Amino acid sequence: MASTAETPALAGAPSPRSNRDVVEQNLARRHRNEAIFRFTGLGAILVGIALVGVLFGSILIKGVPAFTQATMTLEVDFDPEIINIPERPVLQASQSVAEYEQALLSWRRRLAFVNWNKVIQASLAKVLPAAADNARDAAGMIASGERIKLRDMVEADPSIVGTTQAVSLVAAANVDVWLKGNIDRTLPQHMQQLSKLQQEWSDELYQRGVISMAFSTALFTNVDSRSSPATAGLLGAIVGSVMMMLIVLVVAVPIGVMAAIYLEEFAPKNRLTDLIEVNINNLAAVPSIVFGLLGAAVFINFLGLPLSAPIVGGLVLSLMTLPTVIIASRASLRAVPPSIRQAALGVGASPMQAMFHHTLPLAVPGMLTGAIIGVAQALGETAPLLLIGMNAFVASVPSTPMEQSSALPVQIYLWQGNELRNFFEARTSAAIIVLLAVMITLNALAIFLRNRFERRW
Amino acid sequence: MSAVAAEASTGRYETIRIADPVARPTKIAAKEVYVHYGAKEALHHVSIDIPAQAVTAFIGPSGCGKSTFLRCFNRMNDTIENCRVDGVLDMEGEDLNDHSLDVVLLRARVGMVFQKPNPFPKSIFENIAYGPRIHGVAQDKAHLQEIVETSLKKAGLWEEVKDRLNEPGTGLSGGQQQRLCIARAIAVSPEVILMDEPCSALDPIATAKVEELIGELRQNYTIIIVTHSMSQAQRVSQRTAYFHLGYLVEEGPTESIFNNPQEKRTKDYITGVFG
């Protein structure tokens, strides 16, 4: 509209004044549009920041308390009457190794059958005389997994039998919930998780300082547990995730980088390479659960790799990460100015020399960033892992990638669904914090490496 | 324009050639060189003799094919998708356009300096040492250092950079960078040096230095330079070839091209009527 108004002026009317007026007229509108655009952008960013703030805030508020846990410090009597076991067998000259192993095994079995609840009850009775008559309530005060801790102490050093040791034991999950106020204390008793007695004991011990909120090392040193939620930890999941990340690094990064180099620098431009390129871009957009199905069909059914194993998870995540790595690597190769390539070719470098001596070193920072972001993405991926059986309850630390294992995001998923809600809600958020911490560390590493290797030209 | 159109319909255009007053030995003889980008013919039957130990300037308006033709001499057109070069480029009995010829060897014999200074993002020393190193010319470290020093001296850069050989080449000024690129080309001892508008990104002072350098280098090397600057062609070259729309219109001694052009298009271009 404005242009039609201007036309006569442009067509030859010698009136620069009117031209100026037209521009001035529009000027206010143009400035207004610009301001609106700027504020819309600013608004979008503020909304984004607010949402991220709410997300992180809620996770932190819920998760941080889970890093401390009700822990009881007790004088534990290793009473030889309860721990009634013979001496730990030693290898006799007359024995074969097999015979010794057998003797050791039966000794261990006897150790396992010791009534550890009784040991705990006796120790608890020292601070709470009433505990002596209430075996059930006493046993329920301590996380059941802590019995294993006592057993392990004796196994490591049988000479402590007959002595008294100060041991810090993780209190039962319900005690932790009660003390942290994660359960409504006004609920009628039939809806409570602790017995009346246990509630009184918890409060009393907390006041006397026998129970304190200590850093939950169990979260990092133990594997998942159903029978003893208070000592359930992430160790197995962390190890499983680390293994999978290593597999992704070893499989996806070299293949992705080589594919990118070939496609970008050496492949002829024809229908086939166009098709490959389109499909790589499509693969990057394929829902991750589809990769899980593929993994289940190919790696587990066809190749016969074990279920729930990091090797399968790592391979599936590698497939998923591959397009990301290829696309990022190609972009960073393309960002290297062609003049560098020409300079190298001009002095007689072969295409491969030009690539590896000049183009690649300049593209490395971008490639690293792509690779690390791809790996971080893979670390947080859950859906494909569910399809290859990694949502199984695995209470062991895998020592090889072929063994069953859990993974961090799957562990979060499992804890989120745990029936002991008021304890695991915090535990889940704590696990999310651990996962986020690993991811932020990885991204920080990516930024560091990019700045470290970035060269200007 | 219309002249070319007429020639295209009636037959082929024959280049006007004026011989040198003093005969020079021919280094490269281009015969009937055609270049196609896909289906489009960008260069039509170009034939020219490039004299040894002299500077030949290619001039002409943008898009006339002079840079395309220059890139035929070290086969840089190979790196361009869809580009096809036909014809013979005879360098002392060897056809440069023969695809059984190894381009790596060719580019060691025919060096190139590009329009924009493009030093490697490495040290000054490494920039020069790279060529000799990949070709395995240097016997040992001392020899390599000697090559670097002589190359920088020949490029007139030694005095300016001898104390900072380990600093990045990209930290030099534009003119120094271009002389560094010339030194890099010299370091592999080529017989021919191609220069594609080597001064178009430089200021007049840096340009003067590079032109002076070209004048010195022609004692030992055959130089072909593509330039948009008429005065530069006059200052540095002994022979000039005028390209127009993919045709080699006229070629001859620089003086005669500029003082007594035979073709109207050449005359229009050098007098600034168009282009």
Domain boundaries, chain B: 2-118+190-270
Q: Phi/psi zone of residue B95: left (φ > 0), alpha (ψ -120 to 50 degrees), beta?
A: beta
% helix, strand, coil for chain B, step of 5: 40, 25, 35
Which one of A200, A222, A244 terminates a domain?
Answer: A222
Distance from CA of A351 to the nearest CA of B (A): 9
Burial of B176 (0-12, 13-18, 19+ CB in 10 A): buried
Q: Give residue A268's pLDDT band: very low, low, confident or very high (50, 70, 90).
A: confident
Q: Is the dihedral of CA B165, B166, B169, B175 positive or negative?
A: negative
Domain that holds residue A58: 2-64
Of A337, A348, A456, nearest to B188 by CB-CB distance is: A348
CA nearest to B131 within chain A: A347
Contact state of A357 with B134 under an 8 Å Cβ cutoff? yes
Mean pLDDT within A250-261: 94
A258 with A333, same domain? Answer: yes
Please give the pLDDT value at position A269: 82
Nearest-angstrom CA–CA distance, B51 and B57: 11
Residue A103 lies in a domain: yes
Q: Rounded to 5 degrees, what are φ and ψ at B90?
A: -90, 105
A339 in reach of chain B (CB within 8 A): yes
Extract the tokens encoding B136. Answer: 């395995």
Contact state of B134 with A349 under an 8 Å Cβ cutoff? yes
Extract the tokens encoding A395. Answer: 């209470």
Residue A229 lies in a domain: no
Residue A96 lies in a domain: yes
Contacts of A353 in chain B (CB under 8 A): 134
A296 with A200, same domain? Answer: no
CA nearest to A266 within chain B: B79
Residue A364 lies in a domain: yes
ipTM: 0.87
Contacts of B116 in chain A (CB under 8 A): 339
**Residue B170 per-residue DSSP state:** G
Using H for helix, E for strand and C for coil, what is the string for A64-80? HHHHEEEEEEEEEECCC
B75 in reach of chain A (CB within 8 A): no
Extract the tokens encoding A239. Answer: 């190890």
A146 with A177, same domain? Answer: yes
| Residue of A347, A353, A362 best to disrupt the B interface, most CBs of B under 10 A | A347
Q: Phi/psi zone of residue A211: left (φ > 0), alpha (ψ -120 to 50 degrees), beta?
A: beta
B206 in reach of chain A (CB within 8 A): no
Nearest-angstrom CA–CA distance, B201 and B228: 12
A358 in reach of chain B (CB within 8 A): yes
A402 with A291, same domain? Answer: yes
Burial of A272 (0-12, 13-18, 19+ CB in 10 A): exposed
CA nearest to B187 within chain A: A347
- Does residue A9 carry a pLDDT above 50? no
Please give the pLDDT value at position A358: 92
Q: Give residue A16's pLDDT band: very low, low, confident or very high (50, 70, 90).
A: low
Q: Rounded to 5 degrees, what are φ and ψ at B110?
A: -120, 100
Q: Which of the residue ranges A89-98, A320-329, A404-413, B156-165 would you say has the lowest mean pLDDT?
A: A89-98
- Could you tell me if A79 and A165 are in contact, meaning their C-beta atoms sit under 8 angstroms apart? no
A137 with A268, same domain? Answer: no
More confident residue, A452 or A73: A73
Which residues have a Cβ under 8 Å from the Cβ of B221 and sit 6 or more positions away?
A: B53, B186, B190, B191, B192, B193
Q: Phi/psi zone of residue A129: left (φ > 0), alpha (ψ -120 to 50 degrees), beta?
A: alpha
Amino acid in position A322: L
Residue A227 lies in a domain: no
A426 with A382, same domain? Answer: yes
Distance from CA of B151 to the nearest CA of A (A): 14
Name residues of chain B where pLDDT drops below 70: 1-11, 274-275
| Residue of B82, B106, B110, B120 best to disrupt the A interface, most CBs of A under 10 A | B120
More confident residue, A256 or A15: A256
Amino acid in position B199: C
Nearest-angstrom CA–CA distance, B208 and B199: 9
A38 with A80, same domain? Answer: no
Of A339, A346, A353, nearest to B134 by CB-CB distance is: A353
Contact state of B76 with A345 under an 8 Å Cβ cutoff? yes
More confident residue, A14 or A260: A260
Amino acid in position A129: P
A141 with A247, same domain? Answer: no
Which strand (E) or helix (H) includes residue B192? strand B192-196
- Got the DSSP string for A241-303? HHHHHHHHHHHHHHHHHHHHHIIIIIS--SHHHHHHHHHHHHHHTS-HHHHHHHHIIIIIIIS
Mean pLDDT within A185-207: 91
Looking at the 3D structure of chain A, how many domains does it have? 3
Please give the pLDDT value at position A5: 46
Please give the pLDDT value at position B138: 83
Counted across chains A and B, CB pairs separated by less than 8 A come out at 66
B186 in reach of chain A (CB within 8 A): no
A345 in reach of chain B (CB within 8 A): yes
**Residue B13 per-residue DSSP state:** P
CA nearest to A361 within chain B: B121
CATH number of A275's domain: 1.10.3720.10
Residue A230 lies in a domain: no
Q: Rounded to 5 degrees, what are φ and ψ at A307?
A: -70, 155
- CATH for the stretch B2-118+190-270: 3.40.50.300
Nearest-angstrom CA–CA distance, A318 and A375: 9
A172 with A292, same domain? Answer: no
Please give the pLDDT value at position A4: 47
Contacts of B131 in chain A (CB under 8 A): 347-348
Q: Give residue A21's pLDDT band: very low, low, confident or very high (50, 70, 90).
A: confident
A358 with A312, same domain? Answer: yes
The bridge status of strand A164-170 relative to strand A211-215 is unpaired
Which one of A49, A64, A79 terminates a domain?
Answer: A64
Of B114, B170, B184, nearest to A342 by CB-CB distance is: B114
Nearest-angstrom CA–CA distance, A382 and A412: 9
Residue A38: other Cβ atoms inside 10 A: 10
Residue A365 lies in a domain: yes
Mean pLDDT within A66-95: 89
Q: Give residue A322's pLDDT band: very low, low, confident or very high (50, 70, 90).
A: very high
Please give the pLDDT value at position A13: 54
A144 with A43, same domain? Answer: no
- Got the DSSP string for A174-210? HHHHHHHT-S-TTS-GGG-SS-HHHHHHHHHHHHHTS
Distance from CA of B81 to the nearest CA of A (A): 8
Kindly report the average pLDDT of chain A as a whole number: 89
Q: Rounded to 5 degrees, what are φ and ψ at A227?
A: -75, -25
A293 with A184, same domain? Answer: no
